[in-house]
């Protein structure tokens, strides 16, 4: 590297951050956190599908040399090209890269080359991924849970939407269309297709966070056909297994609340999965920012069952529902005990069999629901906002790369 092409990093009290943006919801939260924390930042919109490589390189070089960031921040590696061009540019200018994964990195990184071309720190919302990320060759790997932005999660309506009122509601994807799309992208052999449901079910019951690794370890007879798919189709099949496993688990959980007149909010796949069932209402998908802050408080119980892409971590809803002042019943995840006090700040079931009893108990105890919701909200505001997460990320980057 030529000396004059780099510039000193982390000299100011607060860093300068180049945010690589996409349509991902979290970038807005991180930008807002930077503004509140007084961190100088620049948002670079990279619509890489529309941009040829020469344009990408010239825009990136121009942005880096003019803004002179202390590091680049992305979510889920979005904006980082698969060929490794950005990694080479960052190495040339000695700019560290922070990539915060809020989805399973193993379902994303498999198709990237030159992963280690830049000085990179990987942050994962799920602590269970840290060891396997180190095995992939990443030296700087850190746990950074999700959080909430209480300035965005605010009700907008003066009057409640009466059709949203429910004793219990579930907001989430059925995963039906997602599984169909992934199996189409994977184009697996007939044998892999036939084994898919069995592998997905077994994966869901295991502690293993990576479905591809689970298949290789526990179904060695399928290994050769799985490996023969190549990186992109392999990743699609891994994602299929993860989503199919989520579909089966989520459906099992949702069936347990049907006796309590639930409102199910999500994609039309629910109408297919529950077409022979009575006692529930369907509502199409709601807007994360415009609707959900008004929606959550209208349910006596907001029910949650986590995606199988995370076996130990909690999802976004665990922070969002209490931030809106509402009560949540969720599934147990190991890492929740580091975030909330079980029983007083978070209520969970460890097995789907426990769901009806807990729903019955909390539907009949509004005072207890209110106390848990208030305590959880207090904890989120004190420790789990995106301002807290951004400050922790910045401190880690300074400590690692200064």
| Secondary structure string (H, E, C) spanning 130-156 | HHHHHHCCCCEEEECCCCECCCCCCCC
Q: Could you tell me the two tokens for 85?
A: 């061009």
Q: Are residues 249 and 379 in the same domain?
A: yes
Q: Are residues 136 and 202 in the same domain?
A: no
Q: Average of pLDDT values for 221-241?
A: 96
Q: 221 versus 3: which is more confidently predicted? A: 221
pLDDT of the residue at 160: 95
pLDDT of the residue at 3: 44
Inside any domain, residue 153: no
Domain count, the chain: 2
Domain extent, residue 142, equals: 3-147+387-401
Inside any domain, residue 397: yes
Q: Are residues 194 and 226 in the same domain?
A: yes
Inside any domain, residue 263: yes
- Asked if the model's pLDDT at residue 48 lies above 60, the reply is no
Inside any domain, residue 293: yes
- Tell me the pTM: 0.93
Q: Are residues 233 and 169 in the same domain?
A: yes
Inside any domain, residue 157: no
Match 């892999």 to its residue by tokens.
192
pLDDT of the residue at 117: 60
Inside any domain, residue 359: yes
- Give CA–CA dist 17/40, Å, rounded: 6
pLDDT of the residue at 56: 87
Q: Are residues 194 and 207 in the same domain?
A: yes
- Asked if the model's pLDDT at residue 57 lies above 60, the reply is yes
Q: Are residues 128 and 249 in the same domain?
A: no
Inside any domain, residue 7: yes
Residue-wise burial string across 224-235, b where 16 or more C-beta atoms lie within 10 A, e elsewhere = eebeebeeeebb
Categorize the per-residue pLDDT at 178 as very low, low, confident or very high, splitting at 50, 70 and 90.
very high
Q: 115 versus 43: which is more confidently predicted? A: 43
- Asked if the model's pLDDT at residue 59 lies above 50, the reply is yes
- Asked if the model's pLDDT at residue 384 lies above 50, the reply is yes
Q: Average of pLDDT values for 75-91?
A: 89
Q: Are residues 12 and 116 in the same domain?
A: yes
Q: Average of pLDDT values for 138-142?
A: 94
Q: Are residues 140 and 10 in the same domain?
A: yes
- Asked if the model's pLDDT at residue 157 lies above 50, the reply is yes
Task: Please state, rounded to an integer, the average pLDDT across all residues of the chain.
Answer: 94
Instruction: Read off the CATH number of the domain in which 16 is found.
Output: 3.40.50.2300
Instruction: Read off the CATH number of the domain in which 350 is found.
Output: 3.40.50.2000
Q: Are residues 379 and 393 in the same domain?
A: no
pLDDT of the residue at 2: 44
Q: Are residues 323 and 178 in the same domain?
A: yes
Inside any domain, residue 79: yes
Q: Are residues 216 and 314 in the same domain?
A: yes
Task: Give percent above pLDDT 90 in the chain.
Answer: 85
- Give CA–CA dist 400/402, Å, rounded: 6
Q: Could you say which DSSP state residue 49 is in?
A: T
Q: Average of pLDDT values for 139-144?
A: 96
| Cβ atoms < 10 Å from Cβ of 257 | 24
Q: Are residues 66 and 214 in the same domain?
A: no
């Amino acid at each position: 590297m030529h000396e004059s092409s780099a510039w000193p990093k982390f000299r100011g009290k607060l860093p300068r951050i180049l945010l690589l943006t996409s349509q991902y919801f979290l970038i807005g939260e991180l930008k807002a956190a930077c503004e509140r924390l007084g961190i100088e930042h620049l948002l670079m919109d990279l619509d890489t599908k529309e941009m040829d490589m020469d344009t990408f390189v010239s825009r990136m070089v121009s942005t880096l040399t003019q803004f002179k960031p202390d590091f680049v921040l992305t979510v889920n590696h979005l904006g980082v090209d698969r060929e490794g061009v950005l990694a080479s540019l960052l190495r040339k200018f000695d700019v560290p890269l922070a990539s915060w994964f809020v989805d399973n990195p193993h379902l994303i990184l498999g198709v990237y080359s030159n992963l280690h071309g830049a000085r990179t720190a990987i942050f994962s919302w799920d602590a269970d991924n840290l060891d396997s990320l180190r095995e992939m060759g990443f030296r700087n790997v850190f746990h950074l849970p999700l959080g909430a932005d209480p300035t965005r999660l605010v009700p907008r309506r003066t009057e409640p939407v009466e059709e949203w009122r429910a004793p219990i509601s579930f907001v989430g994807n059925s995963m039906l269309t997602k599984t169909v799309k992934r199996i189409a992208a994977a184009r697996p052999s007939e044998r892999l297709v036939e084994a898919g449901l069995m592998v997905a079910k077994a994966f869901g019951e295991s502690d293993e966070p990576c479905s591809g690794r689970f298949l290789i370890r526990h179904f060695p007879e399928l290994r050769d056909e799985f490996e023969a798919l190549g990186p992109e189709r392999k990743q699609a099949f891994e994602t299929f297994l993860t989503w199919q496993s989520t579909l089966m688990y989520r459906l099992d959980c949702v069936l347990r609340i049907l006796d309590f007149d639930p409102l199910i909010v999500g994609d039309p796949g629910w109408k297919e999965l529950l077409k022979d069932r009575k006692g529930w209402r369907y509502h199409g998908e709601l807007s994360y920012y415009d609707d959900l802050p008004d929606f959550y408080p209208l349910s006596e119980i907001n029910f949650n069952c986590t995606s199988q892409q995370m076996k130990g971590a909690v999802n976004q809803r665990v922070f969002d529902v209490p931030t809106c002042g509402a009560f949540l019943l969720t599934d147990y995840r190991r890492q929740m005990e580091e975030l909330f006090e079980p029983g007083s700040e978070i209520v969970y079931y460890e097995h789907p069999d426990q769901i009806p009893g807990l729903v019955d108990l909390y539907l009949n105890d509004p005072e207890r629901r209110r106390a848990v919701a208030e305590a959880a909200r207090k904890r989120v505001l004190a420790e789990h906002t995106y301002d807290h997460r951004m400050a922790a990320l910045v401190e880690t980057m300074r400590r690692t790369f200064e």
